[in-house]
Structure 1
Amino acid sequence: MATILRTVRWTVLAGSGDPIALVTEAVAKTDFAVASTTPTSIVIDVPRAIIKNRWGATITGALSQGSKGTDIEWVVDGLGNKHYEHMVTIGEGMPEGSLDDHGIPEAVSKIALKMFGRKEIRHLANVLDFGEFVHAIGIGNLGGKMGIVTLTDRRLIFLEKSIGSENLVEFALASIGAISLGKKMGGETLTISHSGTSATITTLQHGQGDAIARKFREIKDQPTATTTPTAADPIEQIERLAGLRDKGILSEDEFQAQKTQLLGSI
């Protein structure tokens, strides 16, 4: 049976302490074991546990310096569907505030999430990229499955709520034409128009869909930063014109006229 690879990205925030030591201490609180470490890597062994219905796995972390601290790219190699759960288990042993939370607690605090648990919140963090920031969050139904609906600064994510599940649907912000809000007896709905098709998330609690739709419009309405083209260097332009003259595209007179004009602008 072939193993499955899953990638999880953490950022240990600057000032939190030595990342290798922090992870080692977190692993010591579990039945996992640190197999080896170097200044830029750590390998963790997850033993097979029949009682816990858990296959064995090997977790390899590569450390690098990031903008907020130390980035760790984890690769979880194992059977079964508990790859993310392994990382949640280790993450729960990390000191409070030591990991980049991606703005998730703040987003959760703005809205009632009665069905949300601590592990689901940590599970969400494990599918985010380095530096990805969460703007709005909710719980809804897509394709008959309940999941966490998350709007980040890069994409809209639907992640199945079950910690044992790894089903993820995502829509890049650039591919979304519009997000329409609707209301039904069962709650709010979001219809996402993207790449010529659409998808509808239903049964969002009151205010959750509205918060996501409004934040999306705010992001889309933000003016795109533009860069004013820098005028080309006159000497470079003269060299380019000389090349056109040499190829017979410009006559000598045309070349001299444009050269005189460019030299006058210096």
Structure 2
Amino acid sequence: MATIIRTVHWTFLSSPETALPLLSAAVEKTDFSVVSASSDSIVIDVPRAMMKNRWAATITGTITPTATGTDILWAVDGLGNKHYEHLVTIAEGLPEGSLYDHGIPEAVSKVALKIFGRKEIRHLANILDGGEKVHAIGVGTLSNKTGIVALTDRRLLFLEKSLMAEDLVDFSLSSIGAMSLGKKMGGETLTITHSGTAAVITTLGHGQGDGIARKFRELKDKPATSTADTPRVADPIEQIERLSGLRDKGILSEEEFQQQKAQLLARM
């Protein structure tokens, strides 16, 4: 039986010297194990667990230091459909604020996502590209499936709720011709016109569809400042605030904080 490989991008808001011990400590909290680790890669073994309905897998991370932190490109190789869930499990063991959060907590704070838990929200981060930011979020139904609806600076995506399914539908902002809001007894609806066809997302909570539609219009009206080949760079002030939080928690030393702060300020 052929294995499946999934790739995921993480950005630590600290240097590799700080990020790797945090990552190793997070793995120790699971039943996974670190097979090898160096300055440029880390390999994690996920054992077969019949009681958890989990196949064995190998997770390989390619580590790249950046001016503001550490990028890790993960490749999860294994059978079954829990590839993303393996990384969610590891992320659960990391201190809050260790990773670039793609703006997800801020977007979630503006709406009620009562049927979603912490793992489902962390799962969303795993399918986002490096630097991609979520501007609005909701819970709705598409093709009789319930999932997270998220508008980023690059696309509108629908991610089925179940970690088991990993079903993803997305529409690039450039392909969306129009987005209209409707209201029914069961909640708000969004009709997305794209490439000559239409998709309808229903049962969105009060204000969720409206928030997504409003932010979509803002993004479409904003002049393009980058090309598809240029990743979005996180706001330096936002990153400094996150680094300050890591310093306050003892994750970063004062010297590391000041060094990375200076690098961020130099970019402004």
Asked if TM exceeds 0.5, the reply is yes
Q: Deviations over 1:106-153 (max 9, x none)?
A: 000011111121001100011011111000000000000000000000
1:180/1:192 contact within 8 Å kept: yes
Runs of at least 4 residues of structure 1 off by over 6 A?
none
Quick one: distance in 1 between partners of 2:165 and 2:128? 16
Give, in angstroms, the shift of residue 193 of structure 1.
Answer: 0.7
Quick one: distance in 2 between partners of 1:207 and 1:116? 17
1:16/1:98 contact within 8 Å kept: no
Quick one: distance in 1 between partners of 2:187 and 2:197? 23
2:15/2:70 contact within 8 Å kept: no
Matches within 5 A, 1:196-215: 196-215=196-215
Structure 2 segments unaligned to the other structure (5+ residues): 227-268
Give, in angstroms, the shift of residue 67 of structure 1.
Answer: 5.3
Quick one: distance in 2 between partners of 1:17 and 1:97? 16
Equivalent in the alignment of 1:93: 93
Equivalent in the alignment of 1:180: 180
User: Bigger CA drift: 9-18 or 174-183?
Assistant: 9-18
1:98 partner SS: coil
Counterpart code for 1:80: G
Quick one: distance in 2 between partners of 1:149 and 1:25? 32
Taking a change above 3 Å as real, the CA distance of residues 150 and 66 of structure 1, as seen in their structure-2 partners, is: farther
Counterpart code for 1:86: H
User: Bigger CA drift: 13-22 or 194-203?
Assistant: 13-22
Taking a change above 3 Å as real, the CA distance of residues 225 and 43 of structure 1, as seen in their structure-2 partners, is: closer
Give, in angstroms, the shift of residue 165 of structure 1.
Answer: 1.7
2:15/2:68 contact within 8 Å kept: no
- Structure 1 vs Structure 2 CA RMSD: 1.4
Give, in angstroms, the shift of residue 65 of structure 1.
Answer: 2.5
- Give TM-score scaled by structure 1 length: 0.82
1:219 partner SS: helix
Taking a change above 3 Å as real, the CA distance of residues 176 and 90 of structure 1, as seen in their structure-2 partners, is: same
Give, in angstroms, the shift of residue 16 of structure 1.
Answer: 8.8
2:215 partner SS: helix
2:187/2:204 contact within 8 Å kept: yes
Equivalent in the alignment of 1:58: 58
Matches within 5 A, 1:8-157: 8-14=8-14, 18-66=18-66, 68-157=68-157
Indicate the structure whose relative CO is greater, using CA pairs within 8 Å and at least 6 residues apart.
2
Once the two structures are aligned, what percentage of the paired residues are identical? 70
2:63/2:73 contact within 8 Å kept: yes
User: Bigger CA drift: 137-146 or 112-121?
Assistant: 112-121
Whichever of the two has the greater Rg, that structure is 1
Give, in angstroms, the shift of residue 224 of structure 1.
Answer: 3.8
Give, in angstroms, the shift of residue 14 of structure 1.
Answer: 2.5
Equivalent in the alignment of 2:238: none
User: Bigger CA drift: 129-138 or 15-24?
Assistant: 15-24
Give, in angstroms, the shift of residue 15 of structure 1.
Answer: 6.0
Q: How many residues align?
A: 226
Give, in angstroms, the shift of residue 225 of structure 1.
Answer: 5.2
1:138/1:205 contact within 8 Å kept: yes
